[in-house]
Amino acid sequence: MSDSHYDVAIAGGGLVGLSLAALLGKADFRVALVEAREPQLDWPKGSVDLRVYAISRASERLLRDAGAWPAIEPYACAYRDMRVWDAGGRGDIHFDSAELGEPGLGYIIESRIIEKALLESVAQCPSIERFCPASIAAFGEADDYRRIELEDGRALSAALLVGADGKHSRVRDQAGIHTQVSNYGQQALVAVVSCERDHQDTAWQRFLPTGPLAFLPLRDGRCSIVWSATTDEAQRLLGLDDEAFCEALGEAFDYRLGRIVEVGERVLFPLVRQHAERSVAARLALVGDASHVIHPLAGQGVNLGFKDVRELVDVLETARRQRRDIGSLAVLRRYERARKGDNMATMLAMDGFKHLFGSRVPPLRWARNAGLDLFDAATPLKRLIMRAAMGL
């Protein structure tokens, strides 16, 4: 065993790895957090991160438990309503938090704000050691620990290695865990825009035949847009000058918030669905995008990762209380079993939505219009789905 021995070594300090480290650190686990990229801690006033997330109420609770919420809340835009409608017809759904007696559906927050707040929580935990910038180069298995080598030559050991290293997880690949990948043939165009009308603290989504278009309300009155489109269409939209883009966007959005008056930098993200065939092995577990990547249409990706974190921390705390080995496969399988159903169901639901709303076939178009109206009127079902989306 090396001098630097930990209970848990985490590869990847994105939002999922950071939140896992913070919760484990608070529970007095000895944690090594290895992150390749230096975080962005300062930014020009008035600028907005292009990575903006819809954070569910359950994720808010997790961020509170991690000690990060007080630093996030002043920058979070609480949204109370969500409006979803279809370009191919008249169906319309209105999700209103008041229907559930809840003050809001969730929050729209820049990724870098959450990252900075979680970094502060991590820095306050003496049982966490952070290695950054550093990358895991290789790892091996001994009887009761994992040996881990960093690219700069340092060595660590841990009872459990967690891969929180994102979509291209090296931990997953080196452990020989296969992934199933399907390419949606779509890219998401992301940008921050100013609209003629107030966003009304509402998240808006219109389903177009080429893919969904979301407007997420920001605290400063602007909106963050995620426009999923076929690769050719996304490239075309990226290539338009600002004026032509604003016009195309306003039209695609039915001018629900009036004209688009300004657009900032535009960036494309390729969209894939990917899931690892297993999320555990001996002394190894995967969380977040390392385990599953889904379509961003319902803004659930990082929320699913936070649910993985909550479950893994619960499983490890229980194992420690019962004096069991936290890296044993029997313990880790409890985590895998607990998360599998929810992760698969969310992934399939996103695919179902994408295919239903992407279809130009007349019976499907009729069914989705009728379905949206029926769904909007079916209060108990709507409430159930709202509670699920809020992670409650």
Ligand X SMILES: Cc1cc2nc3c(=O)[nH]c(=O)nc-3n(C[C@H](O)[C@H](O)[C@H](O)COP(=O)(O)OP(=O)(O)OC[C@H]3O[C@@H](n4cnc5c(N)ncnc54)[C@H](O)[C@@H]3O)c2cc1C
Q: Does 37 bind ligand X (CB under 6 A)?
A: yes
Q: Does 190 bind ligand X (CB under 6 A)?
A: yes
Q: Does 165 bind ligand X (CB under 6 A)?
A: yes
Nearer to ligand X, 210 or 303 (CB): 303
Cβ 131 to ligand X shortest distance, Å: 8
Q: Does 119 bind ligand X (CB under 6 A)?
A: no
Q: Does 269 bind ligand X (CB under 6 A)?
A: yes
- Answer for which of 30, 57, 112, 170 binds ligand X (CB under 6 A) is 170
- The tally of CA atoms less than 13 A away on the side-chain side of residue 280 is 21
Cβ 11 to ligand X shortest distance, Å: 5
Looking at residues 144 to 163 of the shown chain, list those that interact with ligand X (rule: CB under 6 A).
Answer: none
264, exposed or middle or buried, with CB in 10 Å at 0-12, 13-18, 19+? middle
d(CA 20, CA 26): 10
Looking at residues 38 to 97 of the shown chain, list those that interact with ligand X (rule: CB under 6 A).
Answer: 53-54
Q: How many residues bind ligand X (CB under 6 A)?
A: 33
Specify the stretch interacting with ligand X by CB under 6 A; choose among 14-22, 330-338, 372-380, 384-392.
14-22
119: left (phi over 0), alpha (psi -120 to 50) or beta: alpha
Q: Does 36 bind ligand X (CB under 6 A)?
A: yes
- Answer for which of 4, 135, 230, 231 binds ligand X (CB under 6 A) is 135
Q: Does 188 bind ligand X (CB under 6 A)?
A: yes
d(CA 155, CA 391): 38
- Answer for which of 17, 67, 217, 327 binds ligand X (CB under 6 A) is 17
The structure tokens listed for 202 are 């509402």
The structure tokens listed for 200 are 């009304």
- Answer for which of 9, 24, 32, 35 binds ligand X (CB under 6 A) is 35
d(CA 305, CA 287): 6
Nearer to ligand X, 88 or 305 (CB): 305
DSSP states of 223-263: EEEEEEEEHHHHHHHHHS-HHHHHHHHHHHTTTBTB-EEEE
Contact criterion met (CB below 8 Å) for 197 and 261: no
- Annotate each residue in 208-227 with x if it binds ligand X (CB under 6 A) or - if it does not, as one string: ------------------x-
Cβ 378 to ligand X shortest distance, Å: 26
Contact criterion met (CB below 8 Å) for 172 and 251: no
d(CA 255, CA 196): 9
d(CA 194, CA 46): 13
Nearer to ligand X, 34 or 263 (CB): 34
- Answer for which of 8, 9, 76, 164 binds ligand X (CB under 6 A) is 164
Cβ 121 to ligand X shortest distance, Å: 15
Contact criterion met (CB below 8 Å) for 200 and 105: no
Beta-bridge mates of residue 187: 229, 270
Nearer to ligand X, 357 or 365 (CB): 357
68: left (phi over 0), alpha (psi -120 to 50) or beta: alpha
Cβ 380 to ligand X shortest distance, Å: 26
Cβ 244 to ligand X shortest distance, Å: 22
Interface positions with ligand X (CB under 6 A):
11-17, 34-37, 53-54, 135-136, 164-167, 170, 188, 190, 226, 269, 288-289, 296, 299-303, 305
